[in-house]
């Protein structure tokens, strides 16, 4: 059944006085007329959280005795799920604007018919105006959590799965927890986890990206707490990891993304936890590294994504106390960086199709190619996301993995 919560809060926009409940029997006089009904929003997400609807209409009636608004809602098969009256005030003769707000929780999918009518103190009824509200699936869903309680892991989509690699164990009663070599593999189709071949070197605060048929797990702090340049490679279908050429600059809390056949590793922290502007790129086909132009804004704990042929870097920290707000964008074709705008802290940054999505605490923002200065707010996530989360995207879906929770965002379910 649909669930409608109606503490209906009626907010009059232009009424001066308050009327009583009035009689339920018809009386003499002219019935009011309503027209130009507006009911917003017209599309909402299904769920237990109430949505606030704004009702507006034009009221025509010389009697000044409209006292109630009747709201009737029918579900997709025609059954009445709400039929209730709410008190109104009254105003002068002639044409007046009536406005109200309704809080309702809709838990069932489908198109609902909404009918609105005004009643007078004498029991006269206006005409009925109708509209529809479409209730659609919520774009955020709880997902099956990572079997390992950890933070500062790396995540990447590869070989039909989402891989969550390494990280800091948070279930052993130690703070900070030890680095782990555990690799968990999430199958989005079956919604199941399995353990993959472990890394040869346990690491936390590492980064990962896939390109040219391999998944690369790069950098991080090793079991002794020292930053490393370790570069382990997993080929599609392989049963274990191999050692690739190490990253020239040992670092942790860097970010990685694959652009134009190369894996770019940006920023990070050195042994003294200082934020770095270092950028190095790896070619999996030649197993070689190349130094790239440095970040305009050095940072650690940042996020990176490949988007419209460019490398986008967001979030992170300048030092132990200050966040880095600037968005840095690298164009491999020109070898140059731009920083189009200040964006704020970023828990994850993922490209899906022609859109780039950034998670800032519980808020989700998105943008399209050529619009990196204009981000729009999308449906907020189920839980606040911190820098320690791991995230990756596959098949129009964003996956975010926390220490003990996981949730997914389905791009195609977002109300546009």
Each residue's pLDDT, cut to its tens digit, for the chain (416 residues) gives 333 433 333 333 322 222 333 333 444 678 889 988 999 999 999 988 888 989 888 888 766 677 888 999 999 999 998 888 888 754 434 557 777 787 888 888 999 999 999 988 888 999 999 999 999 999 999 999 999 999 999 999 999 999 999 999 999 999 889 999 999 999 999 999 999 999 999 999 999 999 999 999 999 999 999 999 999 999 999 999 999 999 999 999 999 999 999 999 999 999 988 999 999 999 999 999 999 999 999 999 999 999 999 999 999 999 988 999 999 999 999 999 999 999 888 999 999 999 999 999 889 999 998 899 999 999 998 888 888 999 999 999 999 999 999 999 999 999 98
Say how far apart CA 163 and CA 175 lie, in whole Å: 25
For residue 4, which phi and psi values (nearest 5 degrees)? -115, 120
Kindly report the number of other CB atoms within 10 A of residue 48's CB atom.
Answer: 9
What per-residue confidence (pLDDT) applies to 109?
A: 93
- Domains of the chain and any CATH numbers: 17-135 (2.60.40.2550), 140-413 (2.120.10.80)
Task: Please write the tens of the pLDDT for every residue from 139-196.
Answer: 999 999 999 999 999 999 999 999 999 999 999 999 889 999 999 999 999 999 999 9
The size of the chain, in residues, is 416
DSSP letter assigned to residue 14: S
Query: Cα separation of 88 and 76, whole Å?
Result: 29
Contacts of 279 (CB under 8 A, 6+ apart): 264, 265, 266, 267, 291, 292, 293, 294, 295, 330
Q: What is the pLDDT of residue 13?
A: 31
Q: What is the pTM for the complete model shown?
A: 0.84
Q: Which two tokens stand for residue 376?
A: 């729009």
Hey, is 280 helix, strand or coil? strand
Whether residue 74 contacts residue 1, with contact meaning beta carbons closer than 8 Å, is answered with: no
- pLDDT given for residue 16 in this prediction: 24
């Amino acid at each position: 059944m649909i669930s409608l919560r109606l503490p209906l809060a009626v907010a009059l926009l232009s009424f001066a006085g308050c009327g009583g409940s009035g009689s339920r029997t018809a009386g003499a006089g002219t019935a009011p007329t309503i027209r130009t009904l507006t009911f917003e929003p017209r599309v909402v997400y299904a769920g237990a959280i109430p949505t606030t609807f704004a009702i507006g209409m034009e009221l025509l009636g010389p009697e000044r005795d409209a006292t109630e608004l009747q709201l009737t809602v029918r579900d997709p098969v025609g059954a009445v799920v709400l039929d209730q009256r709410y008190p109104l005030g009254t105003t002068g003769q002639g044409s007046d604007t009536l406005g109200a707000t309704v809080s309702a929780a809709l838990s069932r999918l489908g198109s609902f018919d909404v009918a609105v009518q005004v009643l007078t103190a004498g029991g006269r009824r206006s005409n009925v105006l109708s509209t529809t509200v479409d209730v659609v699936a919520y774009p955020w869903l709880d997902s099956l959590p990572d079997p390992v309680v950890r933070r500062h892991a790396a995540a990447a989509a590869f070989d039909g799965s989402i891989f969550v690699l390494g990280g800091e164990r948070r279930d052993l009663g130690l703070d900070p927890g030890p680095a782990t070599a555990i690799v968990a593999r999430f199958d989005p189709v079956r919604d199941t986890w399995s353990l993959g071949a472990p890394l040869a070197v346990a690491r936390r605060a590492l980064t990962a990206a896939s390109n040219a048929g391999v998944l690369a797990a790069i950098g991080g702090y090793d079991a002794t707490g020292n930053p490393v340049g370790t570069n382990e490679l997993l080929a599609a279908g392989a049963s274990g990891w191999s050692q690739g050429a190490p990253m020239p600059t040992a670092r942790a809390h860097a970010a990685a993304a694959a652009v134009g056949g190369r894996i770019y590793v940006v920023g990070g922290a050195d042994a003294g936890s200082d934020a770095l502007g270092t950028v190095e790129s790896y070619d999996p086909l030649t197993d070689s590294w190349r130094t790239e132009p440095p970040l305009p804004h050095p940072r650690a704990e940042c996020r990176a994504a490949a988007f419209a042929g460019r490398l986008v870097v967001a979030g992170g920290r300048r030092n132990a106390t200050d966040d880095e707000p600037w968005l840095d964008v690298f164009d491999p074709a020109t070898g140059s960086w731009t920083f189009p705008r200040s964006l704020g802290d970023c828990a994850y940054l993922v490209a899906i199709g022609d859109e780039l999505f950034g998670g800032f605490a519980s808020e989700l923002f998105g943008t399209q190619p050529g619009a990196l200065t204009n981000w729009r707010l999308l449906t907020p996530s189920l839980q606040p996301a911190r820098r320690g989360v791991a995230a990756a995207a596959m098949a129009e879906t964003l996956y975010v993995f926390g220490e003990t929770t996981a949730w997914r965002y389905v791009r195609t379910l977002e109300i546009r």
